[in-house]
Each structure stands twice: as structure tokens, then as C-alpha cells.
Structure 1
Amino acid sequence: MSTENTMSGGLAGVVVQAGSIGSIALPDRPDPALNGLPPRTPAFVGREEELERVLRILDPAVGESGPRSVVISGLPGSGKTELLLQAGHRALGEPGWFPGGCLFLDLRGYDERQRLSPKRALGSLLRALGVPSDHIPPTTAERAAFYRTALAELADTGRRVLVVLDNVGNSGQLRNLLPGDTGTATLVSSRNSLADVDAALLTLRELSTEGGSRLLAEVLRLASVEDDRVVAEPEESDRIADLCGGLPLALRILGASLADTPARPLSDLRRELAESRSRLDVLQRDNSGVRAAFDLSYRRLPKDQAQLFRLLCLTPGPDFSTGTAAQLSGLDGPRARTALTGLARMHLVDQRESWDRWRLHDLLQSYAADLASPEEGHEAFRRLFIYLASRLKEAVTLFRGGTPEALGEWPDNLTFSEWLQAESTCLVHAVAGLHGAGDDLLTMAIALDLAPYLLEQHHVDDACMTLSAAVTSSRRLGEKKREAVLLTHLGLALKDLRSLKKSVRAHKAARRIAREHGDVHLEAATMNHLGLTRYEQRRFSDSLRLHRAAARLFKRSDYPQDRAGALLNAAETLLKMGRTQDSYKLSQKAERLFRRHDDAHGRAQAQGSLAVALRHDGRLGEAADLHAKAVSEARSLHRPHTLAIELANYGSALMEEGRLDEAVLAMKEALPLFQEIKDRRGEAQALGNLALVRQRQKGWSGALDMHARACELFFELNDDHFLAHELFNTCNALLRLGRHSEAVDTLETAAGLFAMTGDEPGELRCRDWLAEIVALHGAVARKGGAP
């Protein structure tokens, strides 16, 4: 099928009187000035899905079920024009779609000097349709009516036209150019969203890493079929795509640069991009480049939007709130939201799925940083971070159940917990930025409030990074007691990361500082935390001693809730030592203390510990009821980690009571909670427990799959003791499936791990079971399963 774009006929002989249109005659040939589309590039990858979506809308067979116009929008350099041309050429090549050809016009909506007004644009389009200049009406309204009538008549006579309008500046420039009939289709590209016109809207996002790498490879392949640098250095290619933020214009510029220098490795270009003060300097070729594309949009911004855009380079983290933008710019909330909405219409910021949160593309952030002056940036920087620090202190105080000294209205209609959840990642980035900028006081202040929340939510990597930076800042400031607080929290993060020796060192250093300063409460906290690490090292006697000593010090310093927490830790250690009754009594004591001081979170945790002790004592019904109560308490607190733990324990209690379907429901609710908060150890334990339920339901293959996933997680976490338990539990499923030699190998591995972690009873259980299997010479596993 030919892809010829020339018009098959024109229009003339039109009589215009008093705004009415008379008869339309078709001349033999149209004016050739605007016939046909510009050429499309053969290097088109990463937008296949978007192209098919546009073609579905243009397909005449779809009928009149939706708009026949498509507006393609996106940030500068995102490939809007190229998608427009690709869709136009494909549509013109489809038999019977647009037999009348194509009208193409570049409206230059972002060029102040060359921008076409609707009146001039209509004149150009009418001339392209073959209308002589002296027949073109004088006013915009008359030209629009003439134009629509002409397109409708072409469609009615079997010569339907595709109208392609590139670089439309705003809705006002476009509205008079849209056809009025249902047969003629229009393709539009714009940097603005143009949501107020009757058209299907398609917003282009950045290319994926894979899509960006494919585009780079295709640009190089077209320059030379022998260029295999992307194949030879795939990781470097992916990194280049990421450094370009998935922006097609940037990738095409780099592709052309690489084509000019065939011997240059991708690694060298990647280093230049990564190390350049401004990546935009690298993304330049001749008189065009990414910066020039951004300039066209920036120059059109009103003063308040331009100022806000410049300052957005200071936002920490992957996105930001309207409240953050307001603090940066000095605008009030409604005016900041209006300015951001304007920037979003220009695709200079993206609105996220969550209301009132926004994102700035990496290259636009670099561009904004080049525009911002040091003076306005410094003032805005301090204003923002002082605001974040004060808001964080209020939010964390409320999160812990306290009452802040000065409680203001929460920004963006969020609760304090929603604000913490939304801003925690940005605050982590803020600490890194402040530390890098040498602002030790704010680094320390934010970390002291943020780290306990991060640990509670199990954002362990973020907590470790934040605390490490803050410890360095506290030492530079000579703030010894704050250093101790930060160190003991760092010890908790290191424990969760399974860096147990480093955790011990951090806690001991914190305890030494606390004792030097005579701070009894801080010393108690360090001992309590050190006890948790000793528990993970399976040094249960040391753990118990530390928790009991911490409880006594907390009592001396009059911190009853902290004392209750230390007692609860001691109770869990006693349970591990087989002292069930002692554990139950201590958990009861802790629960009474939490209840007396109205600590709902502590009470839920204590109820969970009491329920586990009841399970160990064989009182399964009572345990399940108490677990259910703990789940209900945890659910009301909106603390996902506590809820996940209580649900998992409840599921185990239901399993032991034989209520297997209910156990599956509880465990399946816990599993995604662990995954969401990135508690991989909790996830692994939940998977292992769910596998045990499947075993009881005789779903051996499904159980084996879940055991395998749990084992992988424990292995990645370097948690040898839990891995040993999981391998042990896996063996029964292997035996039931007749895989006896695998069961033997698995048990031997588990026995070795138990021995390595000092669990002699665990090792003996493995050895006894191994002897039984070997005695049976690989025969069918014994009916009772695992001993």
C-alpha cells in the first residue's frame, strides 16, 4: 500500500457572505506548500504501545464511539513529534483510512517570534486545501467555519483527511483548528496537557531503562550495522539510559555523538555523564540540545511559576508535596498548588498518583539547578529544612502517643501518620543532603526524630544510612549524649541487617558514653538494645541478664513504659530458654504496666507475647483467642509491622489448633504486609509458616515451593539459624514426594547450620531423623513425618 501523502483534490469557488458559506468546488490540484508529513525516523523503539493506542483511535472502523482527535503531550524531549509522525505515516498507509491525504502544520507554539496565531494557521491550512488567497475570509471565525465545512465535504465525498498539528502551544491556539465532522481525524502534539479540548489525551512518560537502551542501540545500528557497543556493554548502556532519565531526545543526541566516535566505549560516556557538573552540558549537539528544548518551555512561565520551578531543584527525595513547594517558594498552599498545576500542564512537573504530590524529572532538576541563584536557593533551603524538622518532631511525638508542644494543622489534609509515610523517603534524602552540605545540626536533629520511626516501620537500610551520617555529625559537633542515642539506634539497625558484631560494638560504645555522663535512662536503653542483639546471637543468658538490668535501671529513672518493654524482651528470651511459666508471668507484668499507662501499642505486643507463652504451654484455644485480641488492637493502631507480626502468630496458633483454612487467611494477610514494609525476615517466616499449613493440608508440592522461597530469603539475609529451621521443615515435604536423597542432603545441611549457630538440640533432631531415613534405605518416609 502506498504511503503517499499528497492531497487528491482542493477546494475553490467558495462564496462567503455575512458569515455563511455557499457552494464548494474542487479544483484539479491543491497548493503543494503543506502537502505530506515530514519524514519519520527508522529508529523508533520504546513507544510501540502508545503508537498502537493512537492508531486504534484513528481507525475509521472504530466508528463514532469516542473522540477522533488525539493530543500527545509530555515534557520537552519526550518524543511527542516523533510519535505524531510515526502514527501519521502508519495511518496514511492503511487502506481506506485517509484517502484524501494529510494536512500537516507546525504551529511553533513555544517560539515567541514565530508562533502561528489561529487566524494565520487557518489561512495556511486553507491554502493547503487549494483555496486561493483572495477567497480566504478575513476573520478567524469565518476561516474556521470555512475550514470545517471543507473538511466535512471532503469526508462526505470519500476523501477523508488526516490533520496533523505539531507544537501546539495552548488550547486557544488549537480550538479553531479542530474539525467539526466525525470523519476527519486530528493528531496533535503539545507540551501542555490541553485537557480542556474534546480529544483523547495521551501523556508520554520517560522510556524504561530497557526501552532507552534499545533506542540507543537502534540509533547506533542505523549509523553503522557493525556497531555492537550496546551488546558489548549492556550494563553501561542501561546506566546511560537511566542518566538520561529515559528522555528520547537525550538518548538520540548521545547516540549521534557515539556514532561520531566509533572507538569510544560506552563506559567512557557514562563516566562523563555521571561526573559532569551538569549533564545538560553533555546532552548538546550543534545548536540543539536538551537545554534548548527546556528553554522554550521555561521562557513562557509566569514569574511565580518560574521562581517555583527554579527552587524545586532543592527538593529532597523522589517526589515532593504541595506543602514542600509552598515552603520553598514562600507562597501559601493554594497559590503553590495553582503554580504547580500550571507547571504540570506544561509537563515541567508530573503529578503523582497520590493527591498533592509531584515529581521533577532528573534532567529538569539539573536544568532548574543551573537557573537558581545561590542567594534565593540558600534562603529557600534553610526555610524548607527547618519546616521539615519541626513538622517531623510533631509527627513523631504524635506517632509515639504523646502531645507536641505546638500542634498546628497538618498540611495537605493528611493525618500525622500519613504525612510520615509520605515524607519519610524525602526526609532520608534530606539527611543525606544536609550532611553533604555540612549542616551537622539539622542532620542530627532530623535523624534523632526520624530514625526511631524508620526502625519501627522496618525501613532498616534507610535507618542505617541516616544514623551513620548523624553519628558523624554529632561527633563533629561534640554532642556526646546525642551520639550515644544515635549509636544505640544504629545498633538496632545493624542487628536487623544481621551485622551482629557491629551492632554489639555500637551498643557498647553508646553504653560507655551514657555511663560517662551519668545518664541512667540512656544506659538502660543501651543495655536493653544490646540484649536484643545478644538474643540474635543466641546468647540467651547474656540477653536475659541485660534485659533484667535494663528494667531495673528504667524503674530507677522512672520510665515505666520503657521498663515494660525491657520486661517483655526478657519474657521472650525466657520462652526461648524453655522457661514458659516465667515468661508468662513477666509478660503479664509488662501488660499491666502498659495498660496502667494507656500504651495501646505496648499492650498489643504484650498480649501477643502472652498468647505465644500459652501456645508453648499447650493452651491452644486460649492462645488463639488472645492472639485474635492482639490482632484487633494492632489493627486499630494503624501500625503495619505490629499487625503483620500479630497476624503471623495468630495464623500459627490457628494452625496448631487445626483451624487450617482460618490459618491460611491470617497468614495470607500478614505476608503482603511484611513485603510492603520490606521486612524480608518476617516475609520468610510467614512463607515458612504458610508452607507448614499446606503440609497439614497435604499440599506437598505447594508447600515445597513456599519452603524454597523462604530458604532463599533466609540465605540472602545471612540468617543461618532460621535457614536451618526452614531446611528441617522442608524435609517432610521432600519425603512425602518420594525425594529421599534430597531430604537426606537437606537434613545434613540443616544439621551443619544448627551446629554452627550453637543449637545442639536442633542438630540432634536432624541427626536422629537422618539415621531413621538411612535405616529405611530411602523407603517411604515414616507416617508421622518429622520428629
Structure 2
Amino acid sequence: MKVRILGPVEPPVPPKPAQILAVLAVECGRVVPVDRLIDLVWGEQPPPQARKSLQVHISSLRRAGLPVEHRATGYVLNADLDEVDLHLFRKLVSQAAEEPDLRVRAARLTEALRLWRGTPAVFAQTLDGQRLAAAEALVDAELALGRHAEIVERLGIFVAEYPLAERLRGQLMTALARAGRRADAMRVFRETRKVLVDELGVEPGEQLQQLYRDVLEGSRDSRRNYLPRDAGDFTGRDRELGRLLDADGGVWWVEGPAGVGKSALAVHAAHRLADRYPDGQLFVDLHSPSGALDALLRAMDVPGERIPESAEERAALWRATVGGRRVVIVLDGVTSVSQVRPLLPGTPGCLTLITSRSRLCGLEGVHRIPLDVLDGDEAVTLLGRILGDDRVADEPAEAREVARLCGYLPLAVRITGARLAGRAHWPVSKLLQRLSGERGRLDELVADDLAVRSTLELSYRSLDDDVRRAYRVLGFLGLPEVPSFLWAHLLDEDVLDRLVDARLLDVTGSARYRMHELVRLHARELAEAEDPREEREDVVRRAVVAALSTVDGLTEHLFLAVPRMQDSLGVVRAATRPTDKDAWFSREEPLLTRLVERAAELGLARHACQLAEALVFAWFGLRNRYEAWERSHTAALKAVWETGDVRLEAVLRCSLGQMNYKRDHLVEARSWFETARTLFVNIGDKHGEAVAMNGIGMVCRELGEYPPALAALGRARELLESDDPEGVAHALYGIGSIKRELGDDAAAFETLATAESCYRAARSRRGEALAARGTGLVHRARGELDLAEEHLVRAHEMVTGTGDALLGGYTAQALAKLLLRKGLLDPAETLLRQAMEGCHDVGDRFGEALVRRTLGEWRLVAGDHAGARAVLTEALAAWDDLGLPLWRARTLRDLGAVHACRGDVADADRCWDEAAGVFARMGTRESGEVAQWRARWRPAAISR
């Protein structure tokens, strides 16, 4: 429990117990004698029953949950020192005193002073002196850091609280003088003298008087401070600021996009460096070189009649005027190097800080500082400093989301902060709600004369027509990034580079471009206002076709319940393809998914559907990328509904059925497939009906519903016989697998062999491997281990050649189980570890459960009965979660053997009885094998 005494005592208790708690808190962890407690609480004349009252008050503190304990001589607060605000304050002050880093020291002292909430309950004068010392130490650190302007307001508060503290008043004078407010500094001295004379009858001390004389003397040399007001809430940029503060003169070019805080950084650095450039601190908002030179010369006290008319003569006079002097010059809003050249001093000793949205090119000897947006923590900190209250601390998640929606752009964060600061009754969540919609976000980012939209508008209007069009195209496209395989079909690289030079576009990698979120919203607004609808939509159509040109060349034959149904958009395969397919799709998945969604938003249903389906066969279905699969297909399906295209709806429903099938959501999968089948039947699409029937059959097979599964797969085979060898192979594989489950081995061998031939004809290496695996499983079930090994090794080798880790997990598991039957435990374990890794990597829950069950069998054979029981119990829970009773029964069969080996006859029989019931109900081959298991394992239990 936290105890606070630096202000009203917390937790709140009645007055006397509060005083007692405060005394104990000051001495936290040390025994306070009873007599001392009485003296401190009741004074020199305590009541007769003081000891009794003390006991009563101590009891009330204990009832409040406070850890007050009795000792032989008194009482002690037995709490962690960090839980008591006074001791935490002292700890932070002590840490600050030993901290060499001024920034960290200032942060520690600020944190310490925030613990004070008012007058302490006890020892007020002594503790208040400690607070004053901490305040003076904080000001020393801030002044050493050059935060002169920032500390003035807080110093004024300290001085008001400690009006007789000469050192604080001297620090205020120093801060004001260094911030260029020397008249205010001298006024503070006069006020100080009056207070000291009136209150104490003494003159200011010699140190304060010397400071006054220094300020008075220095006013003649520092009258040329033309810098704008420094931002008191300046945040972040530590690395960039450090470079400027370490600079000894020279030219520094601060570049970055609109609103990123270039001017704020330059002005802040110039204020911090004022003492090192005593001959002047100048600021010019550039419009033309000639006008800028006039302003600079007048700032250096050159009379107007001496300033020449020509720009060349003004430049020469400027260089002569600042020659040999130390001046810091901020040239703000530079648009070209030609503006800058006449303004640069001709001799060393001056520091020139240039801010520009343009990239540096052609200026010699310049130091470049590129600025990007703030990071998330800095943006939230800036928001909190602007507000100056507890709203950010009260709603940290909402504040972080506001910063994200501002794109971490300092201008946008500053605007949101100003809006909230002007509406003290608004929680952060209210502004978050208003910012959440993309359509109105720029409307919300306006506060007085600050607006993100108008700032971007200035940059946009300075562009050529073709560059403006590219800006609008990228904004309307609405993608997080635009790689070369897209922009090469839409825009010229030269135009893109000009947008980069204008800082409206960033280069994020090799030929990849990215727009800041708020810039993209502005560009989209302009596109919707200035470009015809058909022209806008054509941009997205062309982007989809460009994406398909690459993706279509990367699709593969997959062993899926449904084959791909193509609907050509006239796509031509790209001339070059990614060399590392996995790396390419890992990088491009968010972009491609968003492109499907963008096409769907615009009602481009065929384009959205085609790209979504291509992605399934190139990436989503290969690597089980379920989230992107669902997002893309849900968006495409919505667009299809609005067009009324029944066939496309059925295609997407089949694909969503397949996604749920692979995800082991079997009931949902069947629902998607059945609706798709109905739609295909209604429009007379027999091929589509067959595809849906294939899906229904595979789902029913997994659920152990064999008669409807065989009927569905038989119908699919019949419909696909003439035109789709891959679809026929899928149906045959399903039929053969069911025949194996039912113990019809002859039919299983025949059907799986035909399936393998069909897969080979369709050039589906994966399907061919799965059919070979299926044949191997039949041989293994029959005890024909050598024949099984021949087929399973061949299947595993084929899959290994495809690089399919998931399918490789299944072939590895089947082969491992065979090796286990042969007593080859070590190679079996190696394969099982590989299989588990492959299934886990793609989130295949069925595969993980299957491998886990086999690992349980491995432990059983190895004699690790406790380990086998643990692993099989985990597998059992997985089958329950997946809703697969047949696999639960198979695991119970193994678990029964484990119980038998451990001597648990009743538990073994219970497992075998439940498993036998499931096998009998489903009619699987195991229904005739349970008796063999009892005969094999039950004697082990009885013998124990």
C-alpha cells in the first residue's frame, strides 16, 4: 500500500491517525518510541490518556490495512521505502546528484518534485527545505542543458512559492537573460530588492547584485536576438539536437516533410546555442534572397540607407558585416540551393541552420540532418506536455492511438494537443473517436492557424502538373507502400523521384515508395475532387493486373479440397519473378491484401476476386496465412454481393470453405461449401458444383461421416471426369482414404493408385506425394512394413523436393510411425521433431495433435510410461477441441495401453471401452482390432 505525506496524508484517515502515520512514515522501517510519538503528535501538553489514545489510533491505522507493528519500545511502519512518497523523493534526488547525464538528472528531479501535492503533514519546514533544494538543482540542470526559455514559467512558480529564496530569483534572472529577455531579468532584480527590503530589511546579496551587473552589461552585446519563441514542450530529436549542439559553426541543412518539426528543431537549437554566438541570433523566413539579405543586414544594425539595391552588393555587404563575428542564423523554408548561397557568411565562426522540405543537392561543405516523424513514445510525450494535465496518463492506450492516427507527425500531434488543451472537458477518447474515420481526419487536424491540410497544400501547389497527378494516383491507390512491380505499370520513376525531392514521398528500400498516412489522405481527397471516377478506378484496375502479373507466375498445385477456378483478366506474366518466393510474399502480403480490399471498396468485384484467389494458390494456402486469406475474401465477397454475380460469390464461398477446412473449423467449412454448391446448381455450373462437392466430401470424411462423404466425392468425380484431372484426383484420394478407414483395402489400393496417376497427369507433385502416402498407410495398417516403407519414403522425398514444410510434416509423421513399428526409435524421433516444427510454423492444429499422438506412442514403445501418458493426454485435449471423435478414440486406444503398462487395469478398460464404442459406431477398421490390443497389453497390467 502506498503512503503519501507530501501533501494531504494518503490513504485518507482521521486527523490524529494521519499525524501518527506521517511521523511513522518519515521514520519508515525504524521504531519510533511511544514518548516521541506522543510529543510529536500532541506537543508539550499531551492529554492524560495519550497512551491509550495512541493505541486506539494505531488500531484504526491497522484496520485501514497499514502495516504498523508494535515493538517493545514503540511502533514501526514496516513498509517498502519506495511505497512512501517522501523516501522515494529522497531516493530520486540522491540518484540525480550522482547522475553525470544532465538530461537524466533533470528527469529524475522532475519525477521527484511531482511527488509533492501540498504542505507535508509533519516536519513541514524541514521537508520544504529539501523540496527547495531539489527545485534549485533541477533549474541548474535545465540551465546547463540550455533550456532557458522552457524553465522560465516553472521558475516563476517556484519563486512565487519561495519569495525570499535569492538563489531561485538569481536562476530566474539567468534564464530570462539567456532567453533574450534581459529587460524582464532586470525587472526580476528590482522586484527581488523590494521584497527583501520590505520583508527582511536587507539588500540583495553580492552574488545577485553581480548577476544584475552582468545582465546590464550583456544587454549591449545581445540585443540582436530575433529568434521566434522557443517551444517549451519541445520533445525528442535527441540525436539530431546533439549533433547541432556539438557543432562549431558551419552550415547545417535540416530537411524533412511538411509538419515534421524542422523549424522547431532549428529554433530550439539556436536558443540553446545563444551564449556561444553572442553577436546575434537571427531568423529569416525566406521568400527571396534579396529580401532576406535586407532583413539580415537590418538585424545587424546596418542603416537602411547603406543597404544596396542589387542582390550581389547586398551579399557582399552581408559577408563583410558578419566577418569575424559569431552569429547563429536560421534560414527557414528554403526551397532551393540558389536561395541560400548569397546568405552564407564568408568566414568561419558563424552557424547557419537551414530548414527545407527539399533534398540537398549542390551545396558544398554542408552537414545534412534528415528528419522523420517522432517515434510512438515521443509523440505521446509531446501530447502530454502540450496538455499539461493528467489526461494522457489517465487514458494511455487512447493517447497512443491518437498519436498513431496523427502518423506521429509533430504538427498533427501539436494540433490535437492544442484542441484538447482548449477543451479541458474532453477526454482523449473523445478526440480519438473523431479522428478514427479516414474521411474526416484532416478536418479534425485544425487548430487556429495550424492545419495539416493547408501545410500539405503549399507543397502540392508548388508541383508540376504531371507530379501532381502522380501524387493523386498514389493517394487514391491507398496502399501502405508501392513497390516496383506496381508503380512500373502506373507511373514514371522520374516523376516519383520528384515527389521524393518534394518530401511528399519516401524511399523505403530498393525501388519502393511510401506515403505518410496523412499525406495519403490529402492526396486521396485531391484525387476524388479533381480526377474523373473512371480514371481513378482505372488506376486500381491496372494495379490489380500488375500484381496478378507477378502472383500468377508463382501459383502452385496444392493438395486442397477444391481446385482453383480461374476467371482471366487478360493478365500477362511478369518478365521477372522473385527469386525468394517466401521472402517476397512475407514482405508483400499486407500490400496485396490491402489491394484486394481497395478494389473491393470500389466495386471492382472481378478484380478483387481474381487476385484473392490467385493469392490462395500462391501463398495463403501454402503457408496457412488465414488472417490475410479471410480479410481478402471477405472484402471480395462483399463487393460480389453488390454486383449480384452468383458465380463469383460461389467461387469465394468455396475458397472460404477451404480456409475453414484447413483451419480445422469443419462445421463452418461444410456450411460454406453447401451454400456454394446450392449457388452453382442454381446457375447450372456443373464444374462449380463438383468443386463444392469435393469440399463437402473432404469435410465429412474428417468428421467421420463416411456415407455422405463417399456420396459427395463420388458425385464430384462423376462431374469432373471429362475436364479436370486434378479435381478427379482430389475426389479419388478422398474416396481411397475413406476405404482405408473402413478396412476395404483392395478398393483403397485401387482408388489411391488411380488418384496418384491423375495427380501425375495434372503435374501436381504434392497430390502425387499424398496419394503415395495414402497407399503406404494402407500397407502399414496391414502390417506390410517393407511395402509401406517403400511408398512412405517415396512420398516424403517428393514432398521434400517441393519445400512444403506443412505437407512434409505429414509425410514425416507417417514415416516416423512406420520406423517406430520397426523398432527404429532414434530416426523416428528425429522425423517427429521435424514434423512438429513444420506443423507448428504454419499453425496446423490437426497436424500438431497428430504428431503429438505419435510422440506418445514413441514414449510408450521406449518405456517412458509417465511421459507417454502426459503427451497422449495433451493430444486427447486437442482432439476434443477440434471435435474429432475418431482421433480421440485412436488416442484413447494408445492411452489404454499406457495405463495397462502402469498396472491401472480399470483405467485401461475404460479407455478401450470408449474407443471401441466409437470404432463400432463409425464402422472403421479398428473396430476389429480392439480385442487384439486387450490381448497384447492387458496381461502386462494383470502381471503387475
Q: Structure 2 length as normaliser, TM-score?
A: 0.59
**Is 1:359 aligned to 2:524, yes or no?**
no
**Is 1:320 aligned to 2:476, yes or no?**
no
Counterpart of 1:258 in structure 2 is 420
CA–CA separation in structure 2 for the residues paired with 1:623 and 1:647 = 16
Q: In the TM superposition, what is the alpha-carbon distance from 1:205 to its structure 2 partner? A: 3.2
1:301-355 alpha-carbon deviations (Å, 9 max, x no partner): 1221122223333104322346755766xxxx4xx221211111222122232x3
TM alignment of 1:267-282, pairs within 5 A: 267-275=429-437, 277-282=439-444
1:72 alignment partner, SS class: strand
- Number of equivalenced pairs: 672
Q: In the TM superposition, what is the alpha-carbon distance from 1:421 to its structure 2 partner? A: 7.8
Of 13, 32, 43, the residue aligned with 2:233 is 43
Counterpart of 2:798 in structure 1 is 630
CA–CA separation in structure 1 for the residues paired with 2:785 and 2:220 = 93
1:441-479 alpha-carbon deviations (Å, 9 max, x no partner): 655565565555564353333333443444455455443
Counterpart of 2:265 in structure 1 is 83
- For structure 1, the 5+ residue unaligned runs are 8-27, 109-113, 222-226, 636-641, 689-720, 777-786
Which amino acid in the other structure matches residue 357 of structure 1? R
Q: In the TM superposition, what is the alpha-carbon distance from 1:286 to its structure 2 partner? A: 1.5
Counterparts in 2 of 1:744 and 1:456: CA distance versus 1, 3 Å: closer
1:193–1:346 CA contact under 8 A, matched in 2 = yes
Counterpart of 2:719 in structure 1 is 553
Counterpart of 1:592 in structure 2 is 757
1:754–1:760 CA contact under 8 A, matched in 2 = no
Q: In the TM superposition, what is the alpha-carbon distance from 1:760 to its structure 2 partner? A: 1.5
TM alignment of 1:635-784, pairs within 5 A: 635=803, 642-643=804-805, 645-646=807-808, 658=826, 679-681=842-844, 725=853, 757-758=885-886, 759-766=888-895, 769=898
Counterpart of 2:656 in structure 1 is 490
CA–CA separation in structure 2 for the residues paired with 1:182 and 1:536 = 81
2:322–2:345 CA contact under 8 A, matched in 1 = no
Counterpart of 1:306 in structure 2 is 468
1:51–1:87 CA contact under 8 A, matched in 2 = no
1:358 alignment partner, SS class: strand
Counterparts in 2 of 1:102 and 1:311: CA distance versus 1, 3 Å: farther
CA–CA separation in structure 2 for the residues paired with 1:662 and 1:70 = 61
CA–CA separation in structure 1 for the residues paired with 2:799 and 2:600 = 40
2:442–2:452 CA contact under 8 A, matched in 1 = yes
**Is 1:214 aligned to 2:375, yes or no?**
no
Which amino acid in the other structure matches residue 213 of structure 1? V
Which amino acid in the other structure matches residue 364 of structure 1? V
2:407–2:517 CA contact under 8 A, matched in 1 = yes
Which amino acid in the other structure matches residue 762 of structure 1? T
Counterpart of 2:29 in structure 1 is none
Of 715, 722, 731, the residue aligned with 1:566 is 731
Identity of aligned residues (%): 24
1:173-201 alpha-carbon deviations (Å, 9 max, x no partner): 34566678898765443222325555554
Q: In the TM superposition, what is the alpha-carbon distance from 1:228 to its structure 2 partner? A: 2.0
2:254–2:356 CA contact under 8 A, matched in 1 = yes
2:485–2:546 CA contact under 8 A, matched in 1 = no
Q: In the TM superposition, what is the alpha-carbon distance from 1:741 to its structure 2 partner? A: 12
Counterpart of 1:691 in structure 2 is none
Counterpart of 2:494 in structure 1 is 338
- For structure 2, the 5+ residue unaligned runs are 1-142, 147-176, 181-217, 558-565, 906-940
2:550–2:573 CA contact under 8 A, matched in 1 = no
Counterparts in 2 of 1:409 and 1:131: CA distance versus 1, 3 Å: farther
1:8-41 alpha-carbon deviations (Å, 9 max, x no partner): xxxxxxxxxxxxxxxxxxxx99985754754433
Shifted more, 536-545 versus 123-132: the winner is: 123-132
2:850–2:875 CA contact under 8 A, matched in 1 = no
Shifted more, 596-605 versus 490-499: the winner is: 596-605
1:452–1:489 CA contact under 8 A, matched in 2 = no
Greater length-normalized contact order (CA 8 Å, ≥ 6 residues apart): 1
1:480–1:513 CA contact under 8 A, matched in 2 = yes
TM alignment of 1:338-417, pairs within 5 A: 338-353=494-509, 355-372=510-527, 374=529, 376-391=531-546, 395=550, 397-400=552-555, 408=572, 410=574
Counterparts in 2 of 1:116 and 1:233: CA distance versus 1, 3 Å: same
TM alignment of 1:501-580, pairs within 5 A: 501-537=667-703, 539=705, 543=709, 546-547=712-713, 549-555=715-721, 557-570=722-735
Counterpart of 1:429 in structure 2 is 594
Which amino acid in the other structure matches residue 843 of structure 2? R
Counterparts in 2 of 1:166 and 1:535: CA distance versus 1, 3 Å: farther
CA–CA separation in structure 1 for the residues paired with 2:748 and 2:342 = 79
**Is 1:292 aligned to 2:454, yes or no?**
yes
2:438–2:521 CA contact under 8 A, matched in 1 = no
1:74–1:347 CA contact under 8 A, matched in 2 = yes
Shifted more, 72-81 versus 406-415: the winner is: 406-415
Counterparts in 2 of 1:659 and 1:56: CA distance versus 1, 3 Å: farther
1:352 alignment partner, SS class: strand
CA–CA separation in structure 2 for the residues paired with 1:168 and 1:515 = 68
Counterparts in 2 of 1:480 and 1:280: CA distance versus 1, 3 Å: closer
1:605–1:630 CA contact under 8 A, matched in 2 = no
1:680 alignment partner, SS class: coil
Which amino acid in the other structure matches residue 55 of structure 1? G
1:242-277 alpha-carbon deviations (Å, 9 max, x no partner): 222222211211112212221112222222223484
What's the Cα RMSD here? 5.3
Between structure 1 and structure 2, the one with the greater Rg is 2
**Is 1:464 aligned to 2:630, yes or no?**
yes
TM alignment of 1:186-205, pairs within 5 A: 187-194=353-360, 197=363, 198-199=365-366, 201-205=368-372
Counterpart of 1:714 in structure 2 is none
**Is 1:173 aligned to 2:336, yes or no?**
no
**Is 1:231 aligned to 2:231, yes or no?**
no
CA–CA separation in structure 2 for the residues paired with 1:191 and 1:343 = 11
2:776–2:791 CA contact under 8 A, matched in 1 = yes
Which amino acid in the other structure matches residue 72 of structure 1? V
Counterparts in 2 of 1:184 and 1:770: CA distance versus 1, 3 Å: farther
Which amino acid in the other structure matches residue 634 of structure 1? T
1:731–1:746 CA contact under 8 A, matched in 2 = no
CA–CA separation in structure 2 for the residues paired with 1:660 and 1:71 = 65
Q: In the TM superposition, what is the alpha-carbon distance from 1:378 to its structure 2 partner? A: 0.8
1:564–1:594 CA contact under 8 A, matched in 2 = yes
Counterparts in 2 of 1:756 and 1:549: CA distance versus 1, 3 Å: closer
Q: Structure 1 length as normaliser, TM-score?
A: 0.69
1:105–1:166 CA contact under 8 A, matched in 2 = no
1:751–1:764 CA contact under 8 A, matched in 2 = no
2:333 alignment partner, SS class: strand
CA–CA separation in structure 1 for the residues paired with 2:780 and 2:250 = 66
1:150-194 alpha-carbon deviations (Å, 9 max, x no partner): 77x66xxxx7x6654433323333456667889876544322232
1:229–1:265 CA contact under 8 A, matched in 2 = yes
1:320 alignment partner, SS class: coil
Counterparts in 2 of 1:469 and 1:297: CA distance versus 1, 3 Å: closer
Which amino acid in the other structure matches residue 732 of structure 2? L
Of 228, 234, 246, the residue aligned with 1:59 is 246
CA–CA separation in structure 2 for the residues paired with 1:282 and 1:512 = 48
CA–CA separation in structure 2 for the residues paired with 1:351 and 1:363 = 17
